[in-house]
Structure 1
Amino acid sequence: MTTPSRAASLGSVSLGRKIKDRAVQGLVYLAFALALIPLVSVLWTVVGNGAKRLDADFLNHSMNGVSGRDTGGGAYHAIIGTLEQVAIASLIAVPIAVLTAIYLVEYGANGRLARVVSFFVDVMTGIPSIVAGLFVLALWLLTLDFGFSGLAGALSLTILMIPTVVRATEEMLKLVPNELREASYALGVPRWRTILFVVVPTALTGMITGIMLAVARVMGETAPLLLTIFFTKAINTDPLSGPQGSLPTFIWEQAKDPSQNSIDRAWTGALVLILIIMLLNLVARIIAGRRAPTGR
């Protein structure tokens, strides 16, 4: 039987916990609001300044024959270049990174090779983007004597993508319950089929999120592209030869021109880059949602 004094004590404890819970909840909301301030500010600034030139002409014309003071011109050549370079980098980096993460989680465990691989992934995570560009410049362009090309830029982006995708995929695979693996093994399913048809589909949504984070990161890189693809105002749809445009180098080139028309084109290029990243993330979310296990 609870005495009145003890009931009062329990009530005060409960009240104290409620107050602490409300206080912590308020701090979380406050931190969330503070984190949104710079994001909303950046988006507001980019949209406000970039919407002026966002029209059909900007999306369908290049800067070939257009000077910085001219009112025309667009980023068509840069959009094509960015999409090609990121697509090539993703085709190279994603399979390598996903297979590496599967080895580290499903096969390597605490083996010596797994520790070595994990160490080098950590090292690659901290590599500055310009160092990746210098590496491709020294190996691909100077040593192997290939010229500036979209492929060279894609190789430098690949170096930056791999560690991000490896770490994201590794964490998602670790979150898959071992009970799912054990149930599959109990039915006589081989390990490789268990990984392919049970583990990977379960972790697919998080894996795609990690891949899109890597894509969003490399899509805005400028330094490695200046060293590997250079820049051009003409349209070059061939990523295997010749300098190729990209949205980051387009923004850099236009922003350094003091003309207001060039500054407007730089802002619009930044807005287009954000919109492309948002569109790719939306498409990836839809694909991941449709392929995710339903549990039925």
Structure 2
Amino acid sequence: MSREQRGLWLGVVGVAIFALTLPMTRVAVGTPEAPLMSGLFVALGRAVLAAVLSIVFLLATRAPWPKRADWPALSLTAGGVVFGFPLLTSVAMRHVEAVHASVIVGVLPLATAMAGAVLHRQRPAPRFWLCAGLGSVLVVAFALLNSGQGGLRLHPADLLLLAAMACAAVGYAYGARLSQHMRAEHVICWALVASLPVTLPLAWLTWPAQALPATAWGAFAYVSVGSMWLGFFAWYRGLALGGTVRVSQVQLLQPFLTMLFAVPLLGERLDALTLAFGAAVVVTVFLGKRAPIDTRTPSTPTLSPRSPA
């Protein structure tokens, strides 16, 4: 396999793990009528459990300390995928179904590609940006039609999900950048360990006071070990090998995998409107990803010496 092909297949593995995140989060937090874990505990607690696993892994692999120049990028990675995305989605998933949220996730491939293009100074063709805008409009239109507010107003949970997509895109882009010279596994591990002074005390304060069913704890274990840890092993390595802009295309699979998982796990149903909007978002992302990308770094033009008269 070529380097790009290996990156794409690793990206598929990561996306398959991530696709269960929203349904499992829904199982853990419950519904407004039957609440279980708080969204804060799910987000922070899963980061603590993954950080403990990360410490063991870093010691076992004798990982070197990150260089001083890497800490700003690690901080942005942690801000996006350790704090931003988990916190926002965990709070939102108590109020919306996983099938509904999966359509909002449909904008993530374009958001990731846009963040990667800016960070790596790549220049996609105008068609890419046109498709990016169209995909975003479709996602917002779907959220408006399903808001249940009796008017053209977004549900607060939809706003949280859209903000979560932005956080994830930034975290993915900076994590992929670090994976160019660090082991991909070490990137997420150091981001989790660096966040531990904040996540540990907050997780302790938000620990559930009531007894919870085993299904809630099982879902919490999945988002801790799978979504917050192992999924990033494959995902960051795939982005590093195949390029952030290209490999983010495999996230096209995530909304549909999430829908398929949500039906048997949560008893949710798929309607024609959801499927139609999900397919439309995928088409816009597919067209945008096929647009040519200029990977050359812009350079300052030099003046040639004037020829003698």
User: What TM-score do the two structures reach when normalised by structure 1?
Assistant: 0.31
Larger radius of gyration: 1
Greater relative CO, 1 or 2 (CA 8 Å, sep 6+): 2
